[in-house]
Amino acid sequence: MDKSTEAIRIGIGGWVYEPWRGRFYPAGWQQRRELEFASRHVTSIEINSTYYAAQKPETYARWRDAVPDDFVFSAKAPKRITQSRQLASTGGQIDAFLGDLANLRGRLGPVVWQLDRNAQVDRDDFTAFLELIPDTLDGRRLRHVLDVRDAAFVNADYVALARSRGMAIVHTDAPDLPQIADITADFVYARLMRSRAWIATGYPDDELDAWAAMTRRWARGEDPAELPHVSATPAPVQPRDVFLYFISAAKERNPASAMELLAKLGIATPGT
């Protein structure tokens, strides 16, 4: 991997999906080994199951041991936390979730805190909530990603608050969710949600070329002005890690999208 792509991670959301069997996973591949296969064809996976249910420490340890040494997961925080009516009261739940998540050890990448569209976010409660989220875990630095989907809350104050904590704001490329590309941390986190079922790679070639170029620009430290911003204050120019995931939409095509983008970026994986 050359220096220009060392900081780039390209992946998918989850790894258990029946339509991937015989399409992404080889016919007859053992379901218990699907993470092993997926982690050798993409360089990161966003764990979505953590959003819906608690996972046991031994489950995290099993996932950790199934993937290559240079692979990383991101993980979505539980909705029982992020959908709480009083976010500032969730400190104990945050500590319990992160304590179990620590079993991923060096395979742990960003943690995503998603507040859905039906949540009307109170600034004071949200600010207090962020104070409950630790910067380190077992001596390791944590990277946090904010995905606030209350459009009324997504403004310059939100960007300033995220920057004050060094937390990234997710850039979601989707037709029905707030799109914000303001860079607020030393890494970029993007979720691409426009794959099409009738295209083998999910995206047409020119769009994947454009995302490859955008990913390289983010990694170099650029803050592309053509993407939607809500703050007039630009991010400082500095090299950044990039985490980009193909999520939802025509989900059956997302592994192909990720693998094609990795190929365009010249990033090899153990399975290629």
Q: What is the pLDDT of residues 152-194, one digit of tens each?
A: 999 999 999 999 999 999 999 998 888 999 999 999 999 999 9
- The CATH H-level superfamily of 8-265 is Protein of unknown function UPF0759 (3.20.20.410)
Segment 76-102 shows an average pLDDT of 96
Q: For residue 272, is pLDDT > 90?
A: no
* CA–CA dist 204, 253 (Å, integer): 12
* CA–CA dist 69, 72 (Å, integer): 8
* CA–CA dist 96, 239 (Å, integer): 33
Q: How confident is the model at residue 1 (pLDDT cuts 50, 70, 90)?
A: very low
- Residues composing the chain: 272
Q: What is the pLDDT of residues 54-84, one digit of tens each?
A: 999 999 999 999 999 999 999 999 999 999 9
Percent of the chain with pLDDT over 90: 90
* CA–CA dist 57, 80 (Å, integer): 18
Is there a contact between 223 and 235 (Cβ–Cβ < 8 Å)?
yes
Q: What is the pLDDT of residues 204-258, one digit of tens each?
A: 999 999 999 999 999 999 999 999 999 999 899 999 999 999 999 999 999 999 9
Q: How confident is the model at residue 11 (pLDDT cuts 50, 70, 90)?
A: very high
Cα-only R_g, the chain: 18
pTM over 0.85: yes
The DSSP result for the chain, as a single string, is --TTTTTEEEEEE-S--GGGBTTTBPTT--GGGHHHHHTTTSSEEEE-HHHHS---HHHHHHHHHHS-TT-EEEEEPPHHHHT-S-GGG-HHHHHHHHHHHGGGGGGEEEEEEEE-TT----HHHHHHHHHHS-SEETTEEP-EEEEE--GGG-SHHHHHHHHHHTPEEPEEE-SSS-------SSEEEEEE----TTSTTSS-HHHHHHHHHHHHHHHHT---TTS--S-SSPPPP---EEEEEE-SSSGGGHHHHHHHHHHHHT---TT-
Q: How confident is the model at residue 2 (pLDDT cuts 50, 70, 90)?
A: very low
Q: For residue 48, is pLDDT > 50?
A: yes
Q: CB within 8 A of 213, min separation 6: which ones?
A: none
Q: For residue 4, is pLDDT > 70?
A: no
In the chain, domain spans: 8-265
Is there a contact between 179 and 173 (Cβ–Cβ < 8 Å)?
yes
State the CB neighbour count (10 A cutoff) for residue 162.
23
Residue 177's pLDDT is 87
C-alpha torsion angle, residues 209, 249, 182, 108 (rounded to 10):
-90
* CA–CA dist 37, 24 (Å, integer): 9
Q: What is the pLDDT of residues 249-271, one digit of tens each?
A: 999 999 999 999 999 999 999 98
Segment 103-122 shows an average pLDDT of 92
Segment 105-124 shows an average pLDDT of 91
